[in-house]
């Protein structure tokens, strides 16, 4: 079985994911390689997890850098944008070498499209997985014309996780994600489970006096908000009230066209407004086809709001069926649970109390310390594989080799061996990028 780091009560001392490693193996300079910064309009639970890990590790004395695509905001740790949402996948290696430098541990956030970091990074690497996108490739690239792209993406993701990362440890955010990794052939001895945390709820906000149902998340295909809208047409005559949908995404316009009476799309909201809505809602509705964990479920639970969802990976871990919410096994069962709980304040309250009690066991402090233990284990294992090799030395040697190749390419270009603007693939690289001045670390600014 994968090594499981259970949630600890708030009064309990954090437990490491594995037996403690020698302090000398603890990585001080940690770089996260992730698709987005938390400030990106498309950010979701994965970005929130990376932010909480980076912030927590910084507070514990680590030097943390996030390399990402798209816009980057100032934080207490350094954030470096490597380019656009997709283009940065090709620029990540160069950005790491030119603007970040050596690190003791590279954390590749494997979120569908891989960076293939183990193929070009010589130092210790750790893979962080929210969920394996197996079925999501078909959802995203449905239809005859795009189906080949979906198959290619799925095969690339599976190969990267199983073979590309075969020498590295993998952090899964839930037992469901650990099971998905095992299903594609990842050795269970390489999997460590580290749960998400949840913020302190703050002062309670009042519950709505009239039926208020909430769906919260990015508006993308696999969240299945279109299914929720169809079910609402069956539920509304029974329950009345409002269905409030929080979030943005590429599906927004299509979903708005499907919405009937009583549906409100409110887009992005502030943390304070999210807290108010989670507290006011009678139920959180989560019709997603798959999740890594379902962070919003825990955010609702800490505010005593139960969840109705489907019995799918991720939600099986964050929702205790019949205790903190209801997991339906079909559309009719989902609608029935929705109606039943809406009509029974007593049952809603009982589920809400249990949900809050369970959520209280998940803290970001425990998550950070559990992840830190796995990071130390990953660094220690890399040292065992390469005895006598100091942290960062492999990356220095790799960069030196790359610089020597560039000098050789320049000499070849000068001799006319390669035409100006030509492809240097035969010499070991693509076209040389324009030089970029190093960017200093952003000043610290607490959000």
DSSP letters spanning 316-330? HHHS-BTTTEEEESS
What pLDDT, on the 0 to 100 scale, is given for residue 2?
58
Kindly state the helix (H) or strand (E) to which residue 295 belongs, with its residue range.
Answer: helix 295-301
Kindly state the helix (H) or strand (E) to which residue 67 belongs, with its residue range.
Answer: strand 63-69
Query: Which residue, of 318, 343, 361, is where some domain finishes?
Result: 361
Within this chain, do residues 28 and 144 fall inside the same structural domain, yes or no?
yes
Within this chain, do residues 383 and 330 fall inside the same structural domain, yes or no?
no
What pLDDT, on the 0 to 100 scale, is given for residue 243?
99
Within this chain, do residues 78 and 120 fall inside the same structural domain, yes or no?
yes
The reply to whether 203 falls in a domain is no
What pLDDT, on the 0 to 100 scale, is given for residue 447?
37
Query: Which residue, of 361, 376, 407, is where some domain finishes?
Result: 361
- Nearest to 191, CA basis, from 172, 206, 207: 172
- Nearest to 201, CA basis, from 38, 370, 356, 43: 356
Within this chain, do residues 153 and 108 fall inside the same structural domain, yes or no?
yes
What contacts 263, CB < 8 A, 6 or more positions away? 229, 232, 242, 243, 245
What pLDDT, on the 0 to 100 scale, is given for residue 232?
98
- Nearest to 179, CA basis, from 197, 193, 195: 193
Boundaries of domain holding 245? 212-361
- Nearest to 282, CA basis, from 332, 352, 229: 352
Within this chain, do residues 216 and 121 fall inside the same structural domain, yes or no?
no
The reply to whether 319 falls in a domain is yes
What contacts 375, CB < 8 A, 6 or more positions away? 26, 27, 30, 105, 107, 126
- State the Cα–Cα distance between residues 14 and 275, nearest whole angstrom: 27
Tally of CA atoms within 13 A in the half-sphere of 196 that contains its CB: 29
Residues linked to residue 326 through DSSP beta bridges, in sequence order: 308
Within this chain, do residues 184 and 231 fall inside the same structural domain, yes or no?
no
The reply to whether 425 falls in a domain is no
The pairing of strands 105-110 and 125-129 is parallel
What pLDDT, on the 0 to 100 scale, is given for residue 386?
63
Within this chain, do residues 15 and 102 fall inside the same structural domain, yes or no?
yes
The reply to whether 395 falls in a domain is no
- State the Cα–Cα distance between residues 45 and 290, nearest whole angstrom: 13
The tokens describing 234, both together, are 């069956």
The reply to whether 133 falls in a domain is yes
What pLDDT, on the 0 to 100 scale, is given for residue 247?
94
The reply to whether 318 falls in a domain is yes
Tally of CA atoms within 13 A in the half-sphere of 126 that contains its CB: 26
The reply to whether 409 falls in a domain is no
The tokens describing 301, both together, are 């639970």
- Nearest to 36, CA basis, from 76, 90, 89, 77: 89
- State the Cα–Cα distance between residues 295 and 61, nearest whole angstrom: 26
The count of domains in the chain is 2
What pLDDT, on the 0 to 100 scale, is given for residue 423?
33
What pLDDT, on the 0 to 100 scale, is given for residue 40?
84
Question: 160-185 burial string, b = 16+ CB within 10 Å, else e?
Answer: bbeebbeebbbbbbbbbbbbbbeeee
Within this chain, do residues 22 and 167 fall inside the same structural domain, yes or no?
yes
Query: Which residue, of 373, 388, 403, is where some domain finishes?
Result: 388
The tokens describing 300, both together, are 């609702």
Within this chain, do residues 166 and 309 fall inside the same structural domain, yes or no?
no
Within this chain, do residues 172 and 298 fall inside the same structural domain, yes or no?
no
The tokens describing 283, both together, are 């139920």
State the angle between helix axes of 331-342 and 345-359 in degrees (0 to 180), rounded to the nearest 10: 100
- Nearest to 428, CA basis, from 418, 414, 437: 418
- State the Cα–Cα distance between residues 14 and 116, nearest whole angstrom: 32
- Nearest to 157, CA basis, from 115, 124, 105, 218: 115
The reply to whether 354 falls in a domain is yes
- pLDDT tens for the 447 residues of the chain, in order: 556 554 444 434 333 444 443 444 689 999 999 989 898 888 888 999 999 999 999 999 999 999 999 888 889 999 999 888 888 888 889 899 999 999 999 999 998 888 899 999 989 999 999 988 777 667 777 666 677 877 888 888 899 999 999 999 999 999 999 999 999 999 999 999 999 999 988 888 999 999 999 999 999 999 999 999 999 999 999 999 999 999 999 999 999 999 999 999 999 999 999 999 999 999 999 999 989 999 999 999 999 999 999 999 999 999 999 999 999 999 999 999 999 999 999 999 999 999 999 999 999 999 999 999 999 999 998 877 665 444 444 445 444 444 444 444 333 333 333 333 333 233 233 333 444 444 444 444 433
Count the neighbouring beta carbons within 10 Å of the beta carbon of residue 31: 27
Count the neighbouring beta carbons within 10 Å of the beta carbon of residue 240: 11
Q: Which three-class secondary structure state does DSSP give residue 426?
A: helix
Within this chain, do residues 371 and 229 fall inside the same structural domain, yes or no?
no
What is the CATH number for 349?
3.40.50.2000
What pLDDT, on the 0 to 100 scale, is given for residue 1?
55
Within this chain, do residues 97 and 139 fall inside the same structural domain, yes or no?
yes
What pLDDT, on the 0 to 100 scale, is given for residue 426?
31
């Amino acid at each position: 079985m994968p090594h499981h780091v259970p949630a600890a009560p708030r009064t309990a001392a954090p437990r490491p994911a594995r037996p403690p490693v020698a302090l000398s193996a603890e990585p001080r300079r940690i770089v996260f390689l992730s698709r987005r910064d938390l400030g990106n309009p498309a950010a979701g639970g994965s970005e929130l997890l990376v932010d909480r890990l980076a912030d927590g590790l910084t507070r514990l004395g680590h030097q943390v850098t996030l390399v990402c695509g798209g816009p980057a905001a100032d934080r207490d740790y350094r954030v470096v944008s490597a380019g656009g949402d997709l283009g940065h996948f090709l620029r990540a290696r160069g950005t790491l070498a030119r603007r970040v430098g050596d690190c003791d541990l590279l954390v590749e956030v494997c979120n569908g499209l891989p960076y293939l970091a183990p193929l070009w990074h010589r130092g210790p690497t750790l893979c962080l997985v929210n969920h394996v996108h197996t079925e999501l490739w078909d959802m995203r690239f449905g239809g005859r014309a795009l189906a080949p792209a979906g198959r290619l993406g799925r095969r690339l993701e599976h190969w990267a996780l199983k073979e590309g990362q075969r020498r590295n440890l993998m952090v899964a955010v839930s037992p469901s994600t650990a099971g998905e990794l095992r299903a594609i052939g990842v050795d269970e001895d390489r999997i460590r489970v580290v749960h998400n945390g949840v913020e302190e709820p703050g002062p309670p906000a009042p519950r709505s006096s009239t039926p208020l149902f909430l769906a919260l998340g990015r508006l993308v295909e696999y969240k299945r908000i279109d299914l929720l809208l169809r079910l609402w047409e069956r539920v509304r005559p029974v329950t009345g009230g409002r269905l409030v949908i929080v979030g943005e995404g590429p599906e927004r316009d299509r979903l708005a066209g499907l919405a009937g009476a009583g549906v409100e799309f409110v887009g992005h909201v502030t943390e304070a407004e999210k807290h108010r809505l989670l507290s006011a809602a009678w139920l959180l509705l989560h019709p997603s086809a798959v999740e890594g964990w379902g962070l919003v479920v825990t955010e609702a639970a800490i505010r005593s709001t139960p969840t109705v969802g489907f019995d799918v990976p991720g939600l099986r871990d964050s929702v205790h069926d019949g205790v903190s919410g209801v997991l339906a096994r079909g559309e009719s069962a989902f609608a029935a649970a929705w109606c039943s709980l809406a009509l029974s304040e007593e049952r809603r309250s009982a589920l809400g109390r249990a949900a809050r009690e369970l959520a209280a066991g998940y803290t970001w402090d425990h998550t950070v310390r559990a992840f830190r233990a796995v990071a130390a284990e990953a660094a220690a294992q890399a040292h065992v594989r390469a005895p006598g090799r100091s942290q960062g030395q492999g990356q220095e040697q790799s960069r030196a080799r790359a610089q020597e190749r560039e000098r050789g390419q320049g000499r070849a270009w000068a001799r006319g061996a390669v035409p100006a603007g030509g492809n240097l693939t035969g010499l070991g690289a693509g076209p040389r990028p324009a030089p970029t001045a190093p960017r200093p670390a952003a000043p610290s600014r607490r959000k």
